[in-house]
């Protein structure tokens, strides 16, 4: 290409414009930000819950591990906060149950489904809740205005709102300082332990439940979760709503 | 002028209200730089002192967006030529471990009240 | 024109003081809520929207209903509304301001309100609701003020305002449609998940708004000694009947779909709304009051003689308001959340703090109506006295 001064000036001008819009593109050397190298990565994180092995003890261990790690306050009223909790099989999967089903009253773990097509993300007016590239539906507590549209939007009752200042219900000595507490007036929910995955660890409930919860990349045919989904019969909650839940129940 | 007896007192009241911050602070002490307790084991912060002094709030604001929303955890320090974890409690306050003598002193003097520590707890 | 708002009788000033007192009480209640969070409300994990959002929804309807005078006046040259139109527009202004206040008091982090503008999210209906409500507020203040000013100078409204008037017609429809879309687009809430939600919102709004306006017209006749005109009130009354009939018809359609299909996801909500579940029957009582009041009002008003009797008309309007207010202000939100997505029967009863804050906002609305009406009627009297 024949170059001349006019062309050069044009190009330089465009480059300057580009650089002013997106400075990180310019300049050699290490990029300003990077991920932790040991972090676990996936195309699509998913969880499979083995309902046949869910004993009371296992579930309590998983709940305690999660709620202690994330400083989830224990509030004994209908204004409570739950990230992972117990429901009967029927309440979870009533649209795929019938009166003579053995498992009707079986207690089962419940948590955010980290839907592939999450209505909570669609309705949030500030993008305070958003989908990460690896499919985790995350909350940005700094940005949430507390309108609770996401709670109305969630068809699974996975979200809790901080009606109270959660610090009132947390013991100062027992606060886990590796994870923030929340402000009054924001919504929260299970995060698939995104912060642990980024540091190379598996979710707290998966570790605590030892072999009852399978976790991994559902797009990877070799992954543990994909293997078990291939071998056994499983259900997701309310599939007809098209939210594409990524928490599978093995039965 | 029509209605001068209303307009002029009105203007005077407006001017007084508008300049309220100035005359309210008339008798107050002049601003004095505060003595901060600096970490003993290190000479530099992640960036130059001047940069940190004026930009640390913007930097932390950027960190929280990039950490929470974009999924990056490490920050490249131009000064130290090294990556650091973007964490108020683990990186910043690992060196600046005296919140009262460092963070609070300056924030009090400039009458700002950041709510970072409401949720990001440091060791008591 | 504003000077008319500061020249009034003792009664006018006493009324404003009473309203200010109620606003003050509401404001102090709100300070408690700011301090202690929404824990002071009856809201909970399962019923996460309540009285505030319900009032907001009802009032969006009242605001939208100004269009029921704008259409006859500007599209059909129905002259009877000419004198009274300004009252409709100013009512819309007050209603939209109340709507915005109800949204603000419902937020957990009101100081972050502007995040909606800082991080605009077109996929969120709440973002669009903010756009259309603020636009509608602007349109009504603007159109109302400019036309009133023109009338005062005894000239026709300026030509350039005409496009704004025409835009305000679809815009009015849009505010209530978008508000219905807040609910109608949520996949897991079968009570709201219906295409007929926006039409049903509009129908009940076009009954509630004009009903309130008729009552205000009577109040004006008594206290401001100014008659908006019998014909205008009669025209409005007809709008109320048709809208109320449409509203009741749509309720019947919704109940039929749920009851005859017997799909539990839908049916359960209607069972809760009209009969109560697991012993929670308080809402059901209100629902039947709403249905009865609506039916009685419609039957009464179908007879022209009743319609023309001021006392009966006013009483029927109170019934219509009661019916539509219970429908949106109590039933709509709560029954949408119960049963919960996990099939539990939750409860929600607004607390005293919630009621005081609500009352404070209503008082704010009435204060705005009073002041704006004072101006509007003052100008009208000035024109009509020569």
Going along chain A from its start, the domains and CATH numbers come out as 45-250 (3.30.70.20)
Cross-chain Cβ contact A133/B71 below 8 Å:
yes
**Of C186, C122, C117, C48, nearest in space to A143 by CA:** C117
Of C37, C188, C342, the CB nearest to A185: C37
The residue of chain B nearest to residue A41, with distances taken between CA atoms, is B71
Q: In terms of residue numbers, what domain contains B115?
A: 35-119
CB hemisphere CA count around A161 (13 angstroms): 30
Q: Based on the structure, what is the number of domains in chain B? A: 1
What φ, ψ does residue A29 adopt, rounded to 5°? 85, 180
Cα dist from C310 to C63, C88, C305, whole Å:
25, 20, 10
Of B71, B75, B118, the CB nearest to A183: B118
Domain locations along chain C: 2-384
Chain A positions in Cβ-Cβ contact with residue B76 (cut-off 8 Å): 30-34
Bridge partner residues of B75 (DSSP): A33, B84
Of B69, B85, B86, the CB nearest to A140: B69
Q: In the structure encoding, which two tokens stand for residue C251, read together? A: 């309720």
Cross-chain Cβ contact B124/A180 below 8 Å:
no
Q: In the structure encoding, which two tokens stand for residue A125, read together? A: 């007016």
Query: What does the alpha-carbon distance between residue C53 and residue C47 come to, in Å, rounded to a whole number?
Result: 12
CB hemisphere CA count around B2 (13 angstroms): 0
Q: In the structure encoding, which two tokens stand for residue A225, read together? A: 């979760």
Cα dist from C342 to A94, A125, A236, C193, whole Å:
9, 25, 14, 17
Query: What does the alpha-carbon distance between residue A243 and residue A113 come to, in Å, rounded to a whole number?
Result: 9
Which of B69, B81, B94, B113 should be substituted to probe chain A, the one whose Cβ sees the most A Cβ atoms within 10 Å? B69
DSSP chain A: ----HHHHHHHHHHHHHHHHH-GGGSS-SS-SEE--TT----SSEEEEEEGGG--HHHHHHHHHHHHHHTT-----STT---SEEEEEHHHHSGGG--TT-GGGG-EEEEE----SS-HHHHH-TTS-EEE-TTS-EEE-TTT-----HHHHH-TT---EE-SS-GGGGS-GGG--TTS----TT-EE---TTHHHHHTT---HHHHHTTTSEEEEETT-TTSHHHHHHHHS-EE-S-GGG----SEEEE-
In a domain, B17, yes or no: no
pLDDT in tens, chain C (386 residues): 777 877 888 999 999 999 999 999 999 999 999 999 999 999 999 999 999 999 999 999 999 998 998 888 888 888 888 888 889 999 999 999 999 999 999 999 999 999 999 999 999 999 999 999 999 999 999 999 999 989 888 888 899 999 999 999 999 999 999 999 999 999 999 999 999 999 999 999 999 999 999 999 999 999 988 888 899 999 999 999 999 999 999 999 999 999 999 999 999 999 999 999 999 999 999 999 999 999 999 999 999 999 999 999 999 999 999 999 999 999 999 999 999 999 999 999 999 999 999 999 999 999 999 999 999 999 888 888 86
**Of C262, C253, C275, nearest in space to C338 by CA:** C275
Cross-chain Cβ contact A143/C119 below 8 Å:
yes
Q: Which residues contact A68 (CB under 8 A, 6 or more apart)?
A: A174, A176
Query: What does the alpha-carbon distance between residue A58 and residue A205 come to, in Å, rounded to a whole number?
Result: 9
Residue A14 has pLDDT above 80, yes or no: no
Q: Is C225 left (phi over 0), alpha (psi -120 to 50) or beta?
A: left
**Of B60, B35, B46, nearest in space to B95 by CA:** B46
Task: Determine the pLDDT at residue A4.
Answer: 65
User: Chain B: nearest CA to A140, how far in angstroms?
Assistant: 7
CA C96 to chain centre: 8
Query: What does the alpha-carbon distance between residue C331 and residue C345 come to, in Å, rounded to a whole number?
Result: 15
Of B68, B73, B76, the CB nearest to A31: B76
The residue of chain B nearest to residue A143, with distances taken between CA atoms, is B65
Neighbour count for residue B48 (Cβ, 10 Å)? 12
Q: Is C343 on the interface with A (CB under 8 A)?
A: yes
Cross-chain Cβ contact B68/A39 below 8 Å:
no
Q: Which subunits have 3 or more CB–CB pairs within 8 Å of chain C?
A: A
3-state SS track over C136-203: HHHHHHHHHHHHHHHHHCCCCCCCCHHHHHHHHHHHHHHHHHHHHHHHHCCCCCCCCCCCCHHHHHHH
Of B66, B68, B121, the CB nearest to A181: B121
Q: Return the top range by mean pLDDT from A24-28, B107-111, C78-82, C160-164.
A: C160-164
**Of C347, C44, C109, C337, nearest in space to A80 by CA:** C44
Task: Determine the pLDDT at residue A1.
Answer: 45
More confident residue, B34 or A156: A156
Query: What does the alpha-carbon distance between residue C236 and residue C213 come to, in Å, rounded to a whole number?
Result: 8
Q: Is B83 on the interface with A (CB under 8 A)?
A: yes
3-state SS track over A45-74: EEEEEEHHHCCHHHHHHHHHHHHHHCCCCC
Q: In the structure encoding, which two tokens stand for residue B72, read together? A: 């990056």
Q: How many CB pairs under 8 A join A and C?
A: 142
Cross-chain Cβ contact A39/B115 below 8 Å:
no
Cross-chain Cβ contact C45/A185 below 8 Å:
no
In a domain, B27, yes or no: no
More confident residue, B109 or C117: C117
Longest alpha-carbon distance in chain B: 72
**Of C172, C160, C162, C191, nearest in space to C334 by CA:** C191
Q: Is C122 on the interface with A (CB under 8 A)?
A: no
Residue-wise pLDDT for C117-140, tens only, equals 999 999 999 999 999 999 999 999
Q: Which residues contact A75 (CB under 8 A, 6 or more apart)?
A: A81, A164, A169
Q: Is C116 on the interface with A (CB under 8 A)?
A: yes
The residue of chain B nearest to residue A197, with distances taken between CA atoms, is B71
Q: Which residues contact C298 (CB under 8 A, 6 or more apart)?
A: C241, C244, C245, C248
User: Chain B: nearest CA to A51, how far in angstroms?
Assistant: 32
Query: What does the alpha-carbon distance between residue C276 and residue C270 come to, in Å, rounded to a whole number?
Result: 9
Cα dist from C183 to A119, A152, B83, C275, C386, whole Å:
12, 8, 47, 23, 51
Cross-chain Cβ contact A147/C187 below 8 Å:
no
Q: How many CB pairs under 8 A join A and B?
A: 57
Give the DSSP letter of residue B107: H
Residue-wise pLDDT for A75-129, tens only, equals 999 999 999 999 999 999 988 888 888 888 899 999 999 999 999 999 999 999 9
In a domain, B3, yes or no: no
Cα dist from C15 to C12, C169, C218, whole Å:
5, 33, 17
Q: In the structure encoding, which two tokens stand for residue C89, read together? A: 């527009």
Query: What does the alpha-carbon distance between residue B23 and residue B26 come to, in Å, rounded to a whole number?
Result: 5
Task: Determine the pLDDT at residue A27.
Answer: 47
Of C37, C121, C124, the CB nearest to A184: C37
Residue with tokens 């309130």: C212
Query: What does the alpha-carbon distance between residue C296 and residue C157 come to, in Å, rounded to a whole number?
Result: 41
Of A32, A33, A177, the CB nearest to B121: A177
Query: What does the alpha-carbon distance between residue A109 and residue A156 come to, in Å, rounded to a whole number?
Result: 13
How do beta strands A247-250 and A45-50 pair? parallel
- DSSP 3-state assignment of B81? coil
Task: Determine the pLDDT at residue C9.
Answer: 87
3+ Cβ–Cβ pairs closer than 8 Å linking A and B: yes
In chain A, the N- to C-terminal Cα span, in Å, equals 66
Residue with tokens 């009324």: C15
Query: What does the alpha-carbon distance between residue C216 and residue C204 come to, in Å, rounded to a whole number?
Result: 18
The residue of chain C nearest to residue A141, with distances taken between CA atoms, is C109
The verdict on domain C2-384 having CATH code 2.60.40.1730 is no
With contact defined as beta carbons under 8 Å apart, do B68 and A31 qualify?
no
Neighbour count for residue C261 (Cβ, 10 Å)? 11
With contact defined as beta carbons under 8 Å apart, do C324 and C343 qualify?
no
């Amino acid at each position: 290409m024949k170059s001349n001064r006019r062309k050069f000036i044009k190009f330089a001008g465009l480059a300057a414009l580009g650089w002013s819009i997106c400075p990180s593109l310019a300049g050699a050397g290490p990029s300003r930000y990077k991920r932790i190298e040991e972090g676990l990565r996936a195309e699509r994180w998913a969880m499979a819950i083995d309902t046949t092995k869910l004993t009371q003890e296992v579930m309590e261990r998983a709940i305690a591990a999660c709620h202690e790690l994330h400083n989830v306050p224990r509030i004994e009223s209908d204004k409570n906060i739950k990230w992972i909790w117990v429901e009967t099989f029927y309440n979870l999967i009533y649209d795929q149950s019938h009166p003579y089903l053995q498992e009707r009253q079986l207690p089962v773990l419940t948590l955010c489904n980290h839907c592939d097509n999450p209505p909570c993300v669609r309705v949030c007016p500030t993008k305070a809740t958003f989908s990460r590239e690896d499919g985790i539906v995350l909350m940005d507590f700094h940005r949430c205005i507390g309108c609770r549209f996401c709670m109305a939007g969630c068809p699974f009752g996975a979200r809790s709102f901080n009606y109270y200042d959660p610090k009132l219900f947390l013991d100062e000595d027992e606060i886990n300082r590796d994870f923030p507490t929340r402000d009054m007036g924001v919504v929260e929910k299970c995060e698939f332990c995104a912060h642990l995955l980024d540091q190379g660890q598996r979710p707290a409930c998966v570790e605590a439940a030892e072999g009852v919860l399978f976790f991994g990349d559902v797009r990877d045919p070799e992954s543990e979760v994909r293997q078990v989904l291939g071998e056994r019969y499983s259900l997701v909650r309310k599939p007809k709503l098209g939210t594409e839940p990524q928490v599978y129940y093995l039965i | 002028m029509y209605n001068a007896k209303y307009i002029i007192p009105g203007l005077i009241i407006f001017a007084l209200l508008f300049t309220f911050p100035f005359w309210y602070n008339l008798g107050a002490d002049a601003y004095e730089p505060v003595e901060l307790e600096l970490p003993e084991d290190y000479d530099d912060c992640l960036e130059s002192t001047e940069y940190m002094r004026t930009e640390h709030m913007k930097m932390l604001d950027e960190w929280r967006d990039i950490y929470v929303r974009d999924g990056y955890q490490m920050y490249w320090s131009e000064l130290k030529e090294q990556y650091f974890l973007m964490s108020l409690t683990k990186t910043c306050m690992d060196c600046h471990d005296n919140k009262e003598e460092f963070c609070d002193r300056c924030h009090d003097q400039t009458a700002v009240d950041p709510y970072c520590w409401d949720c990001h707890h440091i060791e008591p | 024109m504003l000077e008319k708002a500061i020249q009034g009788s003792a009664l006018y000033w006493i009324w404003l003081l009473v309203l200010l007192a109620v606003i003050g009480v509401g404001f102090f209640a709100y300070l408690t809520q700011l301090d202690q969070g929404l824990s002071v409300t009856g809201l909970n994990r399962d019923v996460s929207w309540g009285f505030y959002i319900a009032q907001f929804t009802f009032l969006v309807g009242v605001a939208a209903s100004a269009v029921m005078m704008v259409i006859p006046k500007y599209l059909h040259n129905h002259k009877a509304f000419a004198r009274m139109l300004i009252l409709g527009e100013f009512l819309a202004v007050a209603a939209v301001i109340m709507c915005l206040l109800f949204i603000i008091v419902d937020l957990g982090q009101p100081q972050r309100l502007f995040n909606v503008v800082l991080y605009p999210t077109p996929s969120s209906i709440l973002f669009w609701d903010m756009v259309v409500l603020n636009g509608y507020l602007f349109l009504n203040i603007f159109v109302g003020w400019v036309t009133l000013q023109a009338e005062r100078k005894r000239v026709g409204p300026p030509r350039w305002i005409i496009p704004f008037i025409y835009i305000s017609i679809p815009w009015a429809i849009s505010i209530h449609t978008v508000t219905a879309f807040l609910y109608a687009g949520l996949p897991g809430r079968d009570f709201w998940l219906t295409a007929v939600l926006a039409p049903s919102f509009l129908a009940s709004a076009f009954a509630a708004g004009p009903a309130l306006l008729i009552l205000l017209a009577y109040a004006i006749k008594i206290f401001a000694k100014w008659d908006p005109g019998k014909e205008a009130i009669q025209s409005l009354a007809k709008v109320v009947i048709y809208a109320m009939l449409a509203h009741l018809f749509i309720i019947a359609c919704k109940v039929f779909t749920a009851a005859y299909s017997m799909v539990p996801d839908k049916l359960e909500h209607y069972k809760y709304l009209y009969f109560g579940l697991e012993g929670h029957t308080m809402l059901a009582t209100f629902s039947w009051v709403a249905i009865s009041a609506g039916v009685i009002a419609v039957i009464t008003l179908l007879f022209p003689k009743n319609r023309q009797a001021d006392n009966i008309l006013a009483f029927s309007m109170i019934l219509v308001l009661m019916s539509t207010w219970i429908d949106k202000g109590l039933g709509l939100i709560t029954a949408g959340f119960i049963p919960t997505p996990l099939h539990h029967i939750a409860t929600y009863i607004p607390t005293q703090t919630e009621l005081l804050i609500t009352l404070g906002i209503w008082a704010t609305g009435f204060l705005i109506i009073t002041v704006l009406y004072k101006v509007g009627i003052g100008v009208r009297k000035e024109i009509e006295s020569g």
